[in-house]
Chains A and B, each alone.
Chain A
Amino acid sequence: MSAACGTPLGLSLLVDYWLAELAPADEERVEAHLLGCASCGYELRSLVNLAGGIRRVTRKGAVRAVVTRAFLERVAADGLRVREYRVAPGGSVQCTVAPEDDLVVARLSAGLEGIGRVDLAICDDSGRERERVRDIPVSGAHGEVVFLPRTASLRAAPAGVDRLKLLAVEQGAERLLAEYIFVHTPSPAGPARG
């Protein structure tokens, strides 16, 4: 293990350096330090490994997240196969995941302008809420929520109906913004719902 550093670079500074967000003079100072300091280099390496890990689990479809249109363009440019389902408010779609799919996304269009907090409720066919994704990041200007579920979860899901609800949460009360119905059919090797 490396010797301790007397003037360690903080995590924020290392992240800023890694993402090329520093002014040239600050970048030069950080680089000179890193080339002379094994301890801070180790910290940066750990951060880089973590960043690489996030990239890998994302590519594997092992992360559930709300993403963006631009993100979808990037993963497609990287050669990943992305199955997209665009659904309008009140709409319904037949969906599945094929063996060759890397990622599957639900693109839920909605009027989101001016709403402070939005939750995504995942419900069964009867409307019973199974899971709540709280305070999702939404851009009113984009008019949609791009939801990336875990690919492995979809592969394991039996045939059935899921209702996704976008809810505005305001002053302790919630209001239904839109509901979307996903009728899931497993890929040929998938399980059957009992």
Chain B
Amino acid sequence: MICSNVVSSLETDPAESSLADADLARRVTAAAPGEALAAETELYRRLAPRVELYGLRHLRAEQAAADLVQQVLVLTIERLREGRVREPERLASYVLGVCRMVVLDLKRGEGRRKRALERYAADVPMAESSSSPRVDLDRLASCLDRLHERERSVLVLTFYSERSATEVAAELGLSPGNVRVIRHRALGRLRECMSGELSAP
């Protein structure tokens, strides 16, 4: 059962949390299968949000990104257990490769998803990925109000449905370079406002 080992709110083991990713990977490889659960859990905790971002970027859907996290980390930890990750110090590159492979599979439809999960998921610990705090929407609306009109238009057109500078520029009759400048300035001002540093309208 895929969810049988999902562990919510896992406590961080101080001994593991001080280790580098590569050290954790070596620890998993060196141990008998399933005997380095603390290291596996710590790796999962660290890698899940990073893989989730990769998934959001390439799949543009929360649920698909969550599926990707499970599949990538199940495969990665299983490969570590099997000693098939030859350069643990290059774990990020390895995970990136697995991400690409799984995204391709997800985009194709079924692929190895079910097979991999059926084969490995029951033995691998899973933690919830830790997203950063949600945005205060009232404050965000107020901060957007403080932007210049062009800045607000560019942000809304850009982020409502992830449009590139070239696309937004074509809609507004501006150059892509101009849109990029406005976008960068607007995001900076918006972030300042959200963190309480921007007082002047």
Contact = CB atoms under 8 A, between A and B. Distances in A.
Interface stretch (B6-14, B78-86, B183-191): B183-191
A192 interface: no
Given A49-B135, A67-B153, A141 B141 contact: no
Q: How large is the interface on B (under 10, 10 to 19, 20 to 34, 35 or more residues)?
A: 35 or more
B2 interface: no
B150 A137 contact: yes
B95 interface: yes
B140 A137 contact: no
Interface stretch (B31-39, B104-112, B117-125, B171-179): B171-179
Contact of A136 (B54, B131, B150): B150
B51 A68 contact: no
Given A49-B134, A54-B159, A137-B153, A21 B172 contact: no
Contacts of A37: 50, 92
Contacts of B141: 57, 62-63
Given A34-B50, A36-B21, A139-B173, A54 B91 contact: no
Contacts of A137: 149-150, 153-154, 172-174
A50 B156 contact: no
B140 A133 contact: no
Interface string A14-53: 0101111100000010011111111001101111111111
A56 to B, nearest CB: 6
B93 A32 contact: yes
Interface of A: 11-12, 15, 17-21, 28, 31-38, 41-42, 44-58, 60, 62-71, 74-75, 78, 133-142
Interface of B: 21, 46-47, 49-51, 53-54, 56-57, 91-93, 95-96, 99, 131-135, 137, 140-141, 144-145, 148-150, 152-165, 171-174, 180, 183-184, 187-188, 190-191, 194
